[in-house]
Structure 1
Amino acid sequence: MTDTASVETRPTDSQTPVLEATGLVKLFGRVVGLRGVDIRLFPGEVLAVIGDNGAGKSTLIKCLTGAMTPDQGTIKIEGREVNFKTTQDARAAGIETVYQTLAVAPALDIASNLYLGREIRRPGFAGKVLRMLDKKAMRQHAQDHIRSLGITTLQNIDQAVETLSGGQRQVVAVARTGAFGSKVAILDEPTAALGVRETGQVLKLVRDLRDKGLGVILISHNMPNVFETADRIHIQRLGGAVGVISPKTHSPEDAVAFMTGARQLREDEQTLR
């Protein structure tokens, strides 16, 4: 791993996972989406989730974010068991997700996209009765947040998202996650189809979110990105969890071998913390 945060942001023996799932099972008729998957995410770490197509990565993330309800298993936020029925439930608990399809509104400006679904109303009669938006407040808060994350690629907060590059659009989506994800940020293939420079910008933002104390789950097929950014790597295969490894103790070749079944991950090789 080429970039590390301060020691204080790393999991310690006394830390409770910010997000923990145990024994998750999801069935689609006779097709097994998840078979008894356990996963733990700690504050201030990037946990990569890797696996081949059909490994259960998307199903796992959907169960963690309220898009699906697992048939069995438990999910806990900071040690407290939760039961998400909708994605709104997960967002209210502090989990924000950037899906691969990018849920941005191209015709709206950057500020409006950051506050999409969380628009600030004007005070008093104008906001409560007429439902008028406080665009000035949203612009100011959006600008402050962009600046606090050290994002320099978004110069004009009033610029329409449809005029931005693919990397800039991804930065907007990730920045929204950082703005409202108080505990967990989940990023599904955030660097897919991006160039080298834009990929670097997005990965820097991921590390910045981690360094601010959020737990970050990064789903990616890009092994160099995973090993550059992640603190631990959760491996999925055929709907089950193979185990967890560290970029410090294993190579990208090891990770590919484990997720394809070419090698078996021994218990003494796993990185639990």
Structure 2
Amino acid sequence: MSTSALLQLRGIDKSFGPVQVLRDIAFSAHAGEVTALVGDNGAGKSTLVKCISGIHPPDAGEVVFDGRPVQIGSPRDAADLGIEVVYQDLALCDNLDIVQNMFLGREKRSGLVLDEAAMEQLAAETLAGLSVRTVTSLRQHVSSLSGGQRQTVAIAKAVLWNSRLVILDEPTAALGVAQTAQVLELVRRLADNGLAVVLISHNMNDVFAVSDRIAALYLGRMVAQVRTTDITHAQIVELITAGRSGALGLSAEDHTPYADTTSGADR
């Protein structure tokens, strides 16, 4: 496992008009690990992801990527760093095949024409590198794929571009038991291949099955970021619903978050 964070957020604030959505957020994601980002609806998960991916630049705070401060002012800035997001709607085109979807907007050309052979080869290599065996033909239209296969294509598309950090928004939300297991295996494989993975999920069974660390948001504040092995299911539920669980989370006196318990030498 990584000894230092690939991505670190320090003191991130974000407001929309008079409403402060994120307050003094500290967060880290490590190469070779899955960090689960959990929180109730309205806790600020989507806004935090949009700050990381350049859609909403933060109002205050510092973003450190691979040891150096960076400004992520647009999705292009995020992509240039190797940050990719797979949103819940997957952003796939049903009328295109797998290869066309994976290269959509980033097509390879040979002169004035598309280099179909090169794109198909790279798509095949990417899927093979992720040990994906559920897709029978790269020229299948996405409309013919199952939910799990669609999720697989969307994840493969995200890692095709030399990604270093992949954020997955509820990747198993609409899947059955077997397809969920396949996607979770793929999520774990991403981390095992050296990527930093941020998994957003409401499913605590998925979170505990695949994550190395869990970061809990409560009403726009990061109330804990702990190793998965150091916390229980019940404690996470308390952090999500009340902002504190025992010594973890917001203090009763001043409601300031405790420090990240995974910081320091154990990272």
| Equivalent position of 1:119 in the other structure | 107
Q: Which of 237, 240, 245 is matched with 1:263 structurally?
A: 245
| Equivalent position of 1:7 in the other structure | none
Q: Is the 8 Å Cα contact of residues 224 and 260 (structure 2) preserved in structure 1?
A: no
1:248 aligns with 2:236: no
SS in 2 for 1:180: coil
| Equivalent position of 2:70 in the other structure | 82
Bigger drift between 112-121 and 52-61 goes to 112-121
Query: C-alpha separation between the residues in 2 aligned to 1:121 and 1:214?
Result: 28
Q: Is the 8 Å Cα contact of residues 95 and 184 (structure 1) preserved in structure 2?
A: yes
1:184 aligns with 2:165: yes
| Equivalent position of 2:147 in the other structure | 166
1:39 aligns with 2:27: yes
Q: Which of 119, 136, 146 is matched with 2:117 structurally?
A: 136
Q: State the TM-score, normalized to the length of structure 2.
A: 0.91
Q: Is the 8 Å Cα contact of residues 11 and 23 (structure 2) preserved in structure 1?
A: yes
After superposition, where does 1:1-273 map in structure 2 within 5 Å? 10-12=1-3, 15=4, 17-122=5-110, 127=111, 130=112, 132-261=113-242, 263-264=245-246, 265=248, 267=258, 270-272=261-263, 273=267
SS in 1 for 2:229: coil
TM-aligned CA deviation for residue 181 of structure 1: 4.6
TM-aligned CA deviation for residue 29 of structure 1: 1.1
Where structure 2 has 5 or more consecutive residues not aligned to the other structure, the ranges are 250-257
TM-aligned CA deviation for residue 245 of structure 1: 2.0
The Cα RMSD (Å) is 1.5
Query: C-alpha separation between the residues in 2 aligned to 1:69 and 1:200?
Result: 35
Q: Is the 8 Å Cα contact of residues 91 and 181 (structure 1) preserved in structure 2?
A: no
Query: C-alpha separation between the residues in 1 aligned to 2:147 and 2:52?
Result: 27
TM-aligned CA deviation for residue 183 of structure 1: 1.1
SS in 2 for 1:205: helix
CA 1:187–1:241 in 2, change beyond 3 Å: closer, same or farther? same
Query: C-alpha separation between the residues in 2 aligned to 1:138 and 1:181?
Result: 15
Query: C-alpha separation between the residues in 1 aligned to 2:221 and 2:127?
Result: 38
Q: Deviations over 1:86-106 (max 9, x none)?
A: 111101110011011111111
Query: C-alpha separation between the residues in 2 aligned to 1:93 and 1:249?
Result: 31
More strand as a share of residues: 2
Q: Is the 8 Å Cα contact of residues 96 and 181 (structure 1) preserved in structure 2?
A: no
TM-aligned CA deviation for residue 190 of structure 1: 0.6
Q: State the TM-score, normalized to the length of structure 1.
A: 0.89
Q: Is the 8 Å Cα contact of residues 33 and 211 (structure 2) preserved in structure 1?
A: yes
Q: Is the 8 Å Cα contact of residues 97 and 177 (structure 1) preserved in structure 2?
A: yes
Query: C-alpha separation between the residues in 2 aligned to 1:180 and 1:219?
Result: 21
TM-aligned CA deviation for residue 268 of structure 1: 8.5
Query: C-alpha separation between the residues in 1 aligned to 2:100 and 2:68?
Result: 33
Q: Deviations over 1:129-148 (max 9, x none)?
A: x3x21111111111111112
Query: C-alpha separation between the residues in 2 aligned to 1:26 and 1:95?
Result: 20
Query: C-alpha separation between the residues in 1 aligned to 2:156 and 2:52?
Result: 20
